[in-house]
Structure 1
Amino acid sequence: MEATDSADHGARDTTEAAKTATDGAATAAGAGGQFDFIVVSNRLPVDRCSPEDTGCEDGWRRSPGGLVTALAPMMTKTDGAWVGWHGAPDETVKPFSHGGIDLVPVHLSTADIELFYEGFSNATLWPLYHDVIAPPEFHRTWWDSYRKVNRRFADAVVHHAAEGATVWVQDYQLQLVPKMLREARPDLKIGFFNHIPFPPPEIFAQLPWRRAIIDGLLGADLVGFQRSSDAGNFMRSARRFLGASVKQQQVHVKGNDGDTTHIARAQAFPISIDVKQISELARKPEVIERARQIRRDLGNPKTILLGVDRLDYTKGIRHRLKAYEELLADGKVTVQDATLIQVASPSRERVEQYRLLREEVEGTVGHINGTYDTMESTAVRYLHHSYPIEEMVALYLAADVMLVTALRDGMNLVAKEYVTARTNNDGALVLSEFAGAADQLKQALLMNPHDIDGLKDTIMKAVNMQPAEASRRMRAMRKQILDHDVDLWSSDFLAALAEKVVRDDS
């Protein structure tokens, strides 16, 4: 591994602004549009599609996912634009509109994808921010690409933001953008939301460019996190690595002369889901019938357990499979009475850690099924696919027990989707205490996924739970989610961003 102890490169980034007029920024500048509200994320909220695909319009359709669901309705009602990569490397696309949203594509090359995205974002930051479950790699070429790509996104915003516009930057791929925007356009109101965990200073300290990342985030007026502990970790890092003055939730950012230039606030804003969409699908007769069909296709087992994850080492899939295999070996569950459905949607398949994980998971599933399957029954139904939301809701309705065994997770919206879909207040949620959702869903069966014996006991408690207790727990969790949906998340963040900060220098 290659590392450097260089400082934050802030001066070099500032002087590079004029030199990094890349294709994406130049395209944005040429469009000339000025917007009062801009969302910035690594990806645009659209995917390529074929004309025969449902929802395809002019070769694009809206992407699934919580962020798009949260922000798209608001952006169609405002003078807003979305800045992001359109998904194809080495291709320049001019700004366009889709579904009532103005979109500003940023150009990324094949090298950018390799160095900025697969490299620094997903082989350096992702494992570092997830408690180094996998070892992060530190390469200067990756860092250089990360800075240059962040500059490209910032330039696109600068060219399209109206005077005094509000800009909301999303997630760990773009942590340098807030400071770049503040230096270029101090008139902007800048928010940032970190969708994944933020590590404690003791782990964050490993990053050679730790000062630059903290400095970049402190360019924002408001930095949002999933959990209060993440916001606390960030503020402790700001104090430790930049010597920043932190008072309550305010970080006083100082200029070169030592005077406070602005105040960056750090707060928790736990993201949620589109409750209305999930609830309506869960009540559709065709979705309910599909859930019944799933049970029939599995031989009508007494208990269906369900895991739904991206195939990622942070999700605890291996721990889940180990616990389930031991329950089968112990005779606590039998293949005649129970089936585990594991949906593992493809993820970052060009990254070596993910290829190895897929081989291990599929090998484990094969071993379990080879040992315990009968002609009539299967122990694990493994599905390496992504599914439309209608099929996912049918799976939620079919499953008696939902297993969320994440080793570290910013939130985990699957847990919230499962609870929302249980409109009859039945079912059981086994939830890792290391998922952000554990802060809100306190009536779930919380457990430590590293404790395999404890995980086994919790699974059995869920399998054998009395209907009255299951109903009481599910009703409480559903109320929490129904009262705190994704619309409230976005409106709470933007309302906090718009607040005037009372400066306390005492």
Structure 2
Amino acid sequence: MSVDAAEGLMTEHDHPDHPRFDFVVVANRLPVDRVVDGDGNASWRTSPGGLVTALEPVMRETEGAWIGWPGGTVNDIEPFDYNGTWIEPMPLSAQEVEEYYEGFSNDTLWPLYHDVIAPPSYHREWWDSYRTVNQRFAERAAQLAAHGATVWVHDYQLQLVPGILREMRPDVTIGFFNHIPFPAYGIYSQLPWRTQIIRGLLGADVIGFQRAADAGNFQRAVRRLLSYEASGTTITVPTDEDGKVTSGSRNTKRPSGPTRTVVARHYPISIDALAYERLAREPRVQERAAQIRSELGNPRTIMLGVDRLDYTKGIRHRLKAYGELLAEGRLQIEDVSLIQVASPSRERVETYKQLRDEIELTVGRINGDFGTIGHSAISYLHHGYPREEMVALFLAADIVLVTALRDGMNLVAKEYAAVRYDNDGVLVLSEFAGAADELKRALLVNPHDIEGLKDTIMTAVEMPRAERSRRMRAMRKRVMEHDVAVWSRSFLRELSPYQLSRGGTDLLAVVEARPGAADHA
């Protein structure tokens, strides 16, 4: 498509009040949280999430824009600049929160994409709301994107945005990253709107997944539903003359007309490992870690679980194994303590309400059966913590239990490795978490196998110091060398040829030109 044609199409979505940006992030949530003080005054602070940390250098160097929901149903928040990033709030009505977010995103897609650990719900009105909200996000991205801009869309809540945006703005480069698993076709095929979502994702130039298996599952879905040619990490997508996706034919594997090449592969996300290590080395954090051990009575072994309160995290399996080890006398109550941090999550969804009740009953039963006046078997904490407190908990913990039944990555595992600069501690890690592909020196476990989980916990408890050190050193090397900067650059590197071919800014070159970028090369 010519530049003139692209400029003409771009003005179709123009708005005099909207500035233009070479880099636009589209995510369900904003990178900032709205805070209201006791006097009712609202302010903003940076969100603690890994995605915000990952994209901060790109946003800073490109002075980009971020489109997202500010949370709640406050609809009168105007766009604003925050530390060089243009914040574009996308309001949701109470009905959209219920149907698009709590409904289709978290009660249809989330359980389906996590191997139907809980049964998904299929409601047409939820799907209609999902389409409507995705349309609005795409329209806003079309308004904010400069000619030849790069738009990076994130996660399962916005899978239709790439396809809608491609129709509006074929001049832009589009990336999509799926932070959760993508299920095998036998599971994905249950979704009534399976083809529409695949077409939506294929509007992107690069589609990223956490694991190679997830990318393979997506490619198989493309072949089964659309019969497009998929070879290696590339998919050939039929288009019209302007590069827009056409309907194609399930009977035509080699289209005779124009095509686009879409890359679909894995880019495992990571953390700002150096920042975690620096925090762990601060004296006040080390003092807090010692205080935590003291408050627990200085037991021989402290185990730690850190999760959102979600049925995919395997908290019930972890508690069952721990309770049985106490009952069998393989663990002695005076020698061990389990801290379970379970931060609140989706508390208006019925499945999550039931999960919280079940876990709290289990914790109460184990504490009642095995606790003493001076010592509880489990310290259960149903709230979130700031990063500094979490680092202190990691330093205090001899063993971290990550027993997810299905997880795209699980950054807790990587955070624990980054914090343990002393090369001590043991990570018990579910083989169903994406982190298992990288942290191969963890004690890998199938959390459904309760006996196997119990034996693995005992192996961790009894592991000699020298072996703990060897394992942790290897995991730390992986996490430090493949940090969040490497993740974002690897994705931008894949997008770079598309950006250059459309006359856009090569964002990778911009980021790598900043001082200190060579430290991550």
Aligned residue for 1:469?
A: 467
| Equivalent residue, structure 1, for 2:259 | 261
2:378 maps to 1:355: no
Deviations 1:476-506 (A, max 9, x none): 00000000000110111011111359x9xxx
| Separation (CA, whole Å) in 2 of partners of 1:316 and 1:371 | 22
Q: CA deviation at 1:58?
A: 6.6
Instruction: Determine whether 1:49 maps to 2:72.
Output: no
Find the residue that maps to 1:146 and give its secondary structure: helix
CA RMSD of aligned residues (A): 1.8
What is the letter of the counterpart of residue 433 of structure 1? E
- Match among 7, 17, 22 for residue 36 of structure 1: 22
Offset, 1:89: 1.1
Conserved 8 A contact 1:32-1:159? yes
Deviation at 1:381? 0.4
Q: Quick check: 1:246 aligned with 2:230?
A: yes
**Counterpart contact for 2:302–2:339, Cα < 8 Å:** yes
Corresponding residue for 1:73?
57
1:338-394 CA-partner distances (Å, limit 9, x unpaired): 000000000000000000000000000000000000112110000001000000000
Q: Does 1:340 align with 2:338?
A: yes
SS of 1:89 mapped into structure 2: coil
Post-superposition Cα deviations, 1:141-197, rounded to whole Å, max 9, x if no partner, equal 000000000000000000110000000000000000001111100000000000000
Tell me whether 30-39 or 405-414 shows the greater mean CA deviation.
30-39
State how 1:173-212 maps to structure 2 within 5 Å: 173-212=157-196
Give the Cα separation in 1 of the matches to 2:258 and 2:372: 70
How far apart, CA to CA, are the structure 1 residues paired with 2:490 and 2:345?
31
CA contact (8 A) 2:66 2:85 kept: yes
Gaps of 5+ in 1: 1-25
- Residues 270 and 411 of structure 2 are in contact (CA less than 8 Å); yes or no, is this contact kept in structure 1? yes
Cα distance, 1:277 vs structure 2: 1.4
When normalised by structure 2's length, the TM-score is 0.89
- 8 A Cα contact 1:182 1:220, kept in partner: yes
Are 1:172 and 1:196, in contact at CA under 8 Å, matched by a contact in 2?
A: yes
For 1:441-452, what aligned pairs fall within 5 Å after superposition?
441-452=439-450
8 Å contact from structure 2 (residues 173, 498) kept in 1? no
1:197-243 residue CA offsets vs partner (Å, 9 max, x unmatched): 00010100000000000000000000000000000000000000111
Number of equivalenced pairs:
474
Aligned pairs (5 A) from 1:11-160 = 29=15, 31-50=17-36, 59-160=43-144
1:411-422 equivalences under 5 Å are 411-422=409-420
Q: Give 1:29 deviation, angstroms.
A: 4.1
- The Cα offsets for residues 264-321 of structure 1, whole Å up to 9 and x where unpaired, read as 1101000000112100110000000000000000000000000000000000000000
Aligned residues of 1:432 and 1:448 also touching (Cα < 8 A): yes
Q: Distance in 2 between matches of 1:164 and 1:435?
A: 36
Q: Distance in 2 between matches of 1:377 and 1:366?
A: 13
Change (3 A) 1:131 1:150: same
Q: 1:29 to 1:88 in 2, by over 3 A?
A: farther
Counterpart check, 1:234 vs 2:232: no
% identical aligned pairs: 62
Query: What corresponds to 1:223 in structure 2?
Result: 207
Q: Please give the secondary structure, in 2, of the residue aligned with 1:206.
A: coil
Query: How far does residue 256 in structure 1 lie from its aligned partner after superposition?
Result: 4.2
Deviates more, 1:84-93 or 1:252-261: 252-261
Q: Report if aligned partners of 1:90, 1:110 keep a CA contact under 8 Å in 2.
A: no
SS at match of 1:59: strand
Q: What's the secondary structure of 1:499's corresponding residue?
A: helix
Which stretch of structure 1 is more off in the superposition, 129-138 or 42-51?
Answer: 42-51
Offset, 1:105? 1.0
Q: 2:151 aligns with which of 164, 167, 171?
A: 167
The amino acid across from 1:193 in the alignment is F
Amino acid of the residue matched to residue 39 of structure 1? V
Matched residue, 2:451: 453
Question: What stretches of structure 1 move > 4 A for 4+ residues in a row?
Answer: none
Asked if the contact 2:270/2:487 (under 8 Å) is kept, the reply is yes
Change beyond 3 A, Cα 1:256–1:457: closer
Which letter maps to 2:397? A
In structure 1, what is the Cα distance between the partners aligned to 2:17 and 2:307?
39
Match of 1:424 in 2: 422
Partner-residue secondary structure (3-state), 1:31 = coil
Q: Secondary structure of 2:369's match?
A: helix
Q: Distance in 1 between the 2:429 and 2:183 partners?
A: 21
